[in-house]
Copies of this chain bind each other. A is one copy, B any other.
Amino acid sequence: MIVNMKREATEEQIEHVIERIKECGYQAHVIRGAERTVIGAVGSGGNRSALEALQAAPGVEDLVPISQPFKLVSTQLRSERTIVDVGGVPIGGEHWVVMAGPCSVESREQLLATARGVRDAGASILRGGAYKPRTSPYDFQGLGVEALELLREAREETGLPVVTEVMSTEDVDVVSEYADMLQVGARNMQNFPLLRRLAKVKRPVLLKRGPSATVKEWLLAAEYLLSGGNPNVVLCERGIKTFESELRNTFDLAAVALAKELTHLPVVADPSHGTGRRSVIPAMSRAAIAAGADGLMIEVHPCPERALSDGPQSLDLPAFAKLMQEIERPARTRLSNSVRA
């Protein structure tokens, strides 16, 4: 940590900061510049929180952190990439996977038709919501345990492992019983009691990035899971909120590339929520893979115009099958210099 003193800081204030740095368990290195004094707090065994409070000390302009605040998720601690096993399907490493299915589980027919369709098209994991976080209390809130039962049936029939969202600590046990991977939704990324509870389950966790979370905050949310005991975490980029309103969210693929640099955990991407617009999902699916994503999560519904949630961003089964083929299509031929000749 670097403590940047104000230009007008007094000797007494500088001395006070040096004292506090030592009390917090660090060594203090002072650099006296032409305009101001800067003090480095060096060491690894000190109390970082206490040190950070020094920002409020008299004469301090601001504090500049030098090292990243996360540890267990960091590639600096572990250079080998983590591969998470989801009911037999590995996420991370050399391959990439597709998780597909309806936004909400609505009925037996809807779910089974979708599950068979996405499996036949090449998906490896089935997604489907049983508990739905909805902006309005008047919207469909999910079928709950009934949906979990249907997901189990779909898994038995298709062989696809299941990922589904858990919204509350109270539902963790029942969802763990049915699902192969538990999803933390974007709006719960910083629901810390939920993260602490999920750190104790024996299931992998899919951690969606919050709509206004920086990559650092996202990794610190994952740090709650790892430091609490659950090393099987998959990160999922799903778009952030920006001024651009033509699409539902701004799909931040550079965050996928950056996250893969900073953490050894697998990182997947959700172009359905990331854009909210069906017509651009194929292009963004290919882009996500090109950016290094370890997989995709895609919403599919047999009849999007009758979906109880997220119809506009759901692909129907033929569109999904087409997407699966397109993802593997090689990029367009590059213009060779000879074209100009």
Write the residues of chain A forming the contact surface with B, with a CB cutoff of 8 angstroms: 2, 4, 7, 20, 29, 31-36, 38, 40, 42-44, 48-50, 52-58, 64, 66-67, 69-71, 76, 88-90, 94-98, 119, 122, 124, 133-141, 159, 167-171, 187-188, 190-194, 210-212, 214-217, 220, 223-224, 227-228, 240-247, 250-258, 261, 274-275, 277-280, 283-284, 286-292, 304-309, 311-312, 314, 327-328, 330-337, 339-340
What's the nearest-Cβ distance from chain B to residue A148, in Å? 16
Please, which residue of chain B has its CB at the minimum distance from the CB of A29? B31
Question: Which chain B residues lie closer than 8 Å to A253 at the CB level?
Answer: 251, 253, 284, 287
Nearest B residue to A271 by beta-carbon distance? B254
Instruction: Select one of B187, B280, B336 contacting A190, CB under 8 A.
Output: B187
Chain B residues whose CB sits within 8 angstroms of the CB of A216 once the complex forms: 246
CA distance A243 to B224 in the complex (A): 23
CB of B250 within 8 A of CB of A240, answer yes
- Residues from chain B with a CB closer than 8 A to the CB of A52 are 311
Contact A187 B193 (CB under 8 A): no
The chain B residue with its CB closest to the CB of A335 is B95
Copies in the complex: 4
User: Contact: B95 with A339, CB < 8 Å?
Assistant: yes
- The answer on a CB contact under 8 Å between A66 and B54 is no
- Is there contact, CB below 8 Å, between B36 and A66? yes
Q: Which residues of B contact A170 (CB under 8 A)?
A: 169-170, 193
Contact A211 B212 (CB under 8 A): yes
- Nearest chain B residue, comparing its CB with the CB of A227: B137
| Residues of chain B within 8 A of A330, CB atoms compared | 330
Q: Which of B56, B96, B286 contacts A312 (CB 8 A)?
A: B56
Q: Evaluate contact between A95 and B33: CB separation under 8 angstroms.
A: no
A245 nearest in chain B by CB position: B245
* Shortest beta-carbon distance from A20 to chain B in Å: 7
Nearest CB in chain B to that of A193: its residue: B168
Inter-subunit contact A94/B333 (CB<8 Å)? yes
Determine the residue in chain B with the shortest Cβ distance to A278.
B56
Most chain B CB neighbours (cut-off 10 Å) among A57, A210, A253, A312: A253
- Contacts A/B (CB < 8 Å), 10 sampled: A31-B42, A33-B43, A122-B334, A188-B191, A240-B244, A242-B243, A245-B245, A251-B252, A286-B290, A328-B331
Return the chain B residue nearest A324 by Cβ. B334
A33 engages B38 (CB within 8 Å): no
B residues less than 8 Å from A66 (CB atoms): 4, 33, 36, 38
Q: Check B311–A284 contact: CB distance below 8 A.
A: no
Given contacts A53-B305, A252-B244, A287-B253, contact A35 B44 (CB under 8 A): yes
In the A-B complex, the 3 residue pairs with the closest CB atoms? A212-B212, A56-B304, A56-B311
CB nearest to A42 among chain B residues: B33
How far apart sit A314 and B309, CA to CA, in the bound complex (Å)? 39
Contact of A96 among B20, B250, B275, B334 (CB under 8 A): B334
Chain B residues closer than 8 Å to A244, beta-carbon distance: 214-215, 240, 252, 255
Kindly list chain B residues whose C-beta atoms are within 8 Å of the C-beta of A254. Answer: 247, 250-251, 274-275, 280, 284
Q: Which residue of B lies closest to A28 (CB)?
A: B31
Name the contact of A258 in the complex, choosing from B49, B90, B211, B277 (C-beta under 8 A): B277
A35 touching B67 by the CB < 8 A rule?
yes
